[in-house]
Structure 1
Amino acid sequence: MKKFVPFIVLSLFVILLLGLCGPILVQRQQEEAQRAYEAERHLVVFSDLPQDVNDGLAQRFYEQKHLRVQIYSKSDSEIRQSLKDDGGVKPDILIASEDDLQAQKKNGILQPYASPVTDKVPPSMKDPEQLWNGLWYNPMVFVLSQAYYERRGMQIQSWDDLLTDPGMVLAFPDLASMDMAGEFLCSFVEMRGMEDSERYLSSLQSHVAAYSKSMSVNVRRVASGEADMGVADASVARQYYKDGAPIFILYPQDGTSYWLTGAAVTNWCEDGELTNAFIDWLYSPDAIDVLRQRHIFLSEALPPANPEVDAKGRELVLFPVKKQYSDQGRRDLQAWWIKSIRFGKEK
């Protein structure tokens, strides 16, 4: 028996050594595979959409076209910082808000992109020099409780109709807390002017039970009966409606503001063929289906064959605004709203 002891010890040592080296070898193989994967032909995309949406877009695009994109989820501020940094991965394509795309246009990092598909995007939703093109937009809409819709729904047509019922309780966004709410404020002032906007918003305040920093809170208050009406973004309102919430969605027929998401090609991009395939694919039903499967119900910048209508069967009407204001201009207007309207300290 003793003569087998060295063999047993050696066998145990080899097994132990293999057990220790195995994970290291597996890790190295995985790293090599990742390097090989990244070396393949692909596009790098920075997107402000959630990671699960970006993963879904990349996967669906590969399934449809057998071409690869690598999409990194970043906030607008992270995108801006990444583009400023000297090192790090640089994107071939940006999917970001209109605000951010305008900023990058000023920074001179975008190159023109146009195709028969983007030619169909309305001029108001793309750059006149074709440096970016709108993909999807999120408008502000009216949300009514079931009881209030049955009582006064037929009388609600426009923003001014929100002032016609003294007893109406309104769930309204804090116009200084969200970019989308700030977009509404700027668009409303552009349409009506400062004086008329001040009169309107001051009158509206008597109906507002509480200002909310979340659009979803406004919809929940309406669905629960805490408020008769709410103003919220269409994506959140549609999500609650499709989930069975007892609400009705109406589109203001005198127009509404919208938050636009678009795509742009950067100066780092050198693969025109792959770029053309991906950007044009983003306008396809497959791409919008990825968003809807993940409960993001945006409107399409490219006019769809069957546009989504409101509870009365009416299509969206958008403010014909030019949006010629800066980030600082929006912040200044939001500060004015806080001081002059919400707390009434200044005129």
Structure 2
Amino acid sequence: MKRLLILAGMALSVGLAQGGTLTLYTSEILADVNALVEAFRAQNPGVQVQVFRSGTGEVVAKLRAELEAGNPQPDLLWFANEDFLRELAGKGLLRRIPPTVPGYPVQYAHGGGLYYEVRLLYNVIAVNTQRVREAPTSWRDLLKPPFPGLLAMPDPNFSGAALATLGTLSQRLGFGFFEALKAGGMRIEQSNPVLQQKLARGEYGLAITTDFGVRQEVAKGAPLATVYPRDGAILVPTPIAVTSWSKNPELATRFLLFLLSPEAQRLFAERGYYPVMPGAPKPKGSPAQVVGIRARFADSETLSRFNALFGLRR
């Protein structure tokens, strides 16, 4: 997937000095980010937001290179790699934003406000109902005889959510779980969006993927269903943080807090995500309650074993 650099909106020259500019590095779906950026700009005329979007692995690699060169660019970081954000926080490279939003669940303000969850997403089992008649109900069900050759998941080198799948299920079920899936013909696609589109077309019958993306495909008419495994859907941390080197920290903080506003939380729900704020609407077609297990991202040794198993190269 090509890296994307967009400029959200064309600010008037008069408003630019008043509004300011932000740079966001993210692995979030670009269309969803654009919708949120435009809603933010409607409340903040003259603001420009530059967005670099790619898979989590590529976003982290880009920022590491900039840090090594002594020239980091983003004001805001938003991707599925809590371990890397924890690393940055330990070096004093994230700005603490006190959790002052009324009603915000304080357990999602990590490090006392160094980075925030702004909506929730889960890794689940997605099913093409035209190819699979009896859906699995647990992660272990994916090993049963009816499913070999039908399953795929994203590449954990590229997708932070897939890295969470690999780490969490390796810890809970053992790495042999993935060895058995490989023996049963599981395939690897680069990203969740690519995988979900192929699942919708019937190229696969099952996928380990993100719940919101499945709902977005269903809204387009795809014959898909979402299974939240009874042994726990994987709650993937995807927090947002303001960097310590930000040239416009007040505006960056304003963007972060906007994502917790009723308008932004409604936009999240409309696009298939669970809002993080109590009382916000739930996404259409979603269960009221989910049995979730907090993700654990795979370490480098587990990722290397996975790469060797599936013949992947970084």
Q: TM-score, normalised by structure 1?
A: 0.68
Structure 1 residue aligned with 2:151: 171
Structure 1 residue aligned with 2:223: 246
- Aligned letter for 2:181? L
Change (3 A) 1:77 1:290: farther
Tell me if the contact between 1:176 and 1:335 (Cα under 8 Å) persists in the aligned partners. no
Tell me if the contact between 2:23 and 2:73 (Cα under 8 Å) persists in the aligned partners. no
> Does 2:105 correspond to 1:127?
no
Change (3 A) 1:338 1:72: same
Structure 1 residue aligned with 2:292: 318
Unmatched tracts of structure 1, length 5 or more: 1-32
Unmatched tracts of structure 2, length 5 or more: 1-11, 53-58
Structure 2 residue aligned with 1:152: 134
Q: What aligned pairs does 1:280-299 form with structure 2 within 5 A after superposition?
A: 280-288=257-265, 297-299=272-274
> Does 2:233 correspond to 1:256?
yes
Deviant stretches of 4+, over 6 Å = 270-273
Structure 1 residue aligned with 2:5: none
Aligned-pair CA distance for 1:242: 0.8
**In 2: Cα distance, 1:203 partner to 1:330 partner:** 20
Aligned-pair CA distance for 1:127: 1.6
- Residue by residue over 1:117-167, the C-alpha shift from the partner in whole angstroms, topping out at 9 and shown as x without a partner, is 2862362x4423321111234321111222456x424xx321122233445
Structure 1 residue aligned with 2:304: 335
> Does 2:39 correspond to 1:60?
yes
**In 1: Cα distance, 2:206 partner to 2:181 partner:** 12
Q: Identity of counterpart residues, as a percentage?
A: 20
- Residue by residue over 1:259-304, the C-alpha shift from the partner in whole angstroms, topping out at 9 and shown as x without a partner, is 43322233356988756543322112422555677xx543333355
> Which structure's CA Rg is the greater one?
1
Q: What aligned pairs does 1:61-100 form with structure 2 within 5 A after superposition?
A: 61-64=40-43, 66=44, 69-74=47-52, 75-82=59-66, 85-86=69-70, 91=75, 93-97=76-80, 98-100=82-84
- Aligned letter for 2:178? L
- 2:86 is aligned, of 102, 111, 126, to 102
> Does 2:30 correspond to 1:47?
no
Change (3 A) 1:225 1:159: same
Q: TM-score, normalised by structure 2?
A: 0.73
Secondary structure (helix, strand or coil) at the match of 1:161 reads helix
**In 1: Cα distance, 2:15 partner to 2:66 partner:** 23
- 1:302 is aligned, of 274, 277, 285, to 277
**In 2: Cα distance, 1:84 partner to 1:70 partner:** 27
RMSD over aligned CA atoms reads 3.6
Aligned-pair CA distance for 1:88: 7.9
Structure 1 window deviating more from structure 2 (126-135 vs 273-282): it is 273-282
Secondary structure (helix, strand or coil) at the match of 1:336 reads helix
Structure 1 window deviating more from structure 2 (256-265 vs 237-246): it is 256-265
> Does 2:168 correspond to 1:187?
yes
